[in-house]
Chain A
Amino acid sequence: MNVLKRTALALALPFVLFAGWWVLSADSENFYSPPLSAILTAFGDTWTLDRIRADVLPSLLRLFAGFLLAAVLGVAAGVAIGLNRRLRAVAEPVLEFFRAVPPPVLVPVIMLFAGIGDAMKVIVIVFGCVWPILLNTVEGVRAVDGVVLETARSYGVTGPARITHVILPSASPQIAAGLRQALSIAIILMVISEMFAASNGLGFTIVQFQRGFEIPEMWSGIILLGMLGFGLSLLFRLAERRALRWYEGLRAAQRSG
């Protein structure tokens, strides 16, 4: 019963909004907001398997390549900087500056170096994503419990084992927070780098539709992009919950204790 009620509550508003959009736009004459039925028809016609393979897949591959690369670089550099106070004092102002630069302005710069191919887009995503991951890793590494560190030391856990078994796990909730921020930046940069210069990809296709005044198709692209954003964040949350199960349990225990 409870589950039923919760599901009903969760679905009610989306249903009402959807129905409202459908009814209000049903005989819309406005060129820019076509009827929802037309958009949905366009959605089916536009995003065929071929289209997905030609445009959505390359976008996603660039997104994942950039995000993973940024994660590896960010965590590695973050651990190094977090463990060394002198390095941190030197690097922190520079890092704060790079983080504050709005990532999309990197697109024109990186276009100079890397042209307009896939490499450019991946580098743009890496450059934009790496800062939140890096800075959060530094914070996480700094906040590792001193007692845990000393205990590990007395048990002779040193070198690489210290990093993989003590420092990374303790810092992982912070790292996950950085990764979550980076994911939304990655999606933005994926779209923008394709809007700037590309021959395929989601951002490119949607702008093509807009320039060709193919309005229902454009709307369908916006909806697809929205679904993509939602899907990726859901996926991330599932992965995070799995990887950080111990942490959630710890926090729950602390709260009730």
Chain B
Amino acid sequence: MTTARRDGPARLGNPVLLGIAGPAGLLLLIELAPRIGLVDERYLPPASRIGAALVTEAGTGVFWTALWETLSAWALGLALAVAAGVVAGIVIGSVPVLRALTASTVEFLRPIPSVALIPLAVLLYGTDLGSTLMLVCYAAFWQVLVQVLYGVADVDPVAFETARSFRFSAWARIRYVLWPTALPYVFTGIRLAASVALVLAITAELVIGAPGLGREIAVAQASEAVPTMYALIVVTGVLGVLINLLARTGERRLLAWHQSVRGEVAL
């Protein structure tokens, strides 16, 4: 009887099959629930109609332009935030006085919800790309900065002092001692920032009306094109999954040399 809990792979069934069963079941539910009248068809169209709307959307130029606009705003905002976060993190992290001075300010500014800046962004940039960038940068910057600060704090003092005794220049110390230590943290920061940036890009488009997928969702909602709206939402979800996947594989590839990725084989 006690073996029942530790069910082996044989008892579990094929993991791939089970993995497919989940999404397939969900699709079936969305297909059937409106058809048998469990939910109103006007609110939740059957999966097949959402799929058809998705195909129609994919045939229009508007969709691809919107997708491109969302992705470019995401990439540009993320790149700016990562660059600023890494530089600021290394500078603040390696000077103890600066770190002590800025700690309270960082702790205060970080939890400020970036959506609070929406009205300001509207006034400053209207419905341009600038609005989206402002929100994306603000939200993503803190994720990177905080991780870089953790990373810099994690540098082995002995290694750092050794480099100093060997008369490494300040630049060489950063490049060869600090940077490799901080790199895993930087990647964690980038991974977190990448998903936050997508959320904020879509939000800005949805709420402010900056060009992109979010605005298309708002347009579809306003014109009561419900299947199209669901189709676009599915696209944003797929984008989110892809970004997560990309960030994770990128991290694993680029950090293959690092212990935290290699696992505990070394022990």
Contacts and interface: CB of A to CB of B under 8 A. Distances in A.
A76 B213 CA distance: 34
A97 interface: yes
Nearest to A191: B115
Contacts, number: 163
Nearest to A232: B111
Interface stretch (B163-171, B172-180, B233-241): B233-241
A103 interface: yes
Contacts of A105: 202, 206, 214, 217, 232-233, 236
B122 A188 contact: no
B241 A210 contact: no
A104 B22 contact: no
Contacts of A203: 115
Contacts of B19: 89-90, 92-93
A97 B23 contact: yes
A112 interface: yes
Interface residues of B, number: 62
B15 interface: yes
A225 B118 CA distance: 12
A191 B44 CA distance: 25
A101 B25 contact: no
B229 interface: yes
A98 B42 CA distance: 22
B81 interface: no
B19 to A, nearest CB: 5
A206 interface: yes
B206 A104 contact: yes
B119 A207 contact: yes
Q: Which of B7, B22, B221 has the most CB of A within 10 A?
A: B22
B18 A229 contact: no
Contact of B105 (A17, A113, A206, A215): A17
Contacts of A222: 116-117, 119-120
A210 B121 CA distance: 10
- Chain B CB count within 10 A is highest, among A89, A105, A221, for A105
B170 to A, nearest CB: 24
Interface in B1-46: 7, 12-13, 15, 18-23, 25-26, 39, 42-44
Contact of A225 (B25, B103, B113): B113
Contacts of A101: 233, 236-237, 240
Interface string A9-33: 1111110010000000000000010
Nearest to B202: A102
A13 B100 CA distance: 10
B111 A233 contact: yes
Given A85-B7, A105-B214, A11 B108 contact: no
Contacts of B240: 99-102
A32 B104 CA distance: 27
A203 B21 CA distance: 40
A196 B218 CA distance: 10
24 contacts: A14-B108, A17-B105, A90-B25, A93-B22, A96-B241, A97-B241, A101-B237, A102-B198, A103-B199, A104-B199, A104-B214, A105-B217, A105-B236, A108-B217, A108-B229, A109-B230, A187-B115, A191-B115, A192-B203, A195-B118, A207-B119, A229-B112, A229-B113, A230-B107
Given A92-B22, A104-B199, 15 more contacts: A90-B22, A97-B23, A101-B233, A108-B206, A108-B217, A112-B42, A112-B43, A184-B113, A191-B118, A218-B123, A222-B116, A225-B116, A226-B109, A229-B112, A230-B111
Interface of A: 6, 9-14, 17, 32, 85-86, 89-94, 96-109, 111-113, 184, 187-188, 191-192, 195-196, 203, 206-207, 209-210, 215, 218-219, 221-222, 225-226, 229-230, 232-233
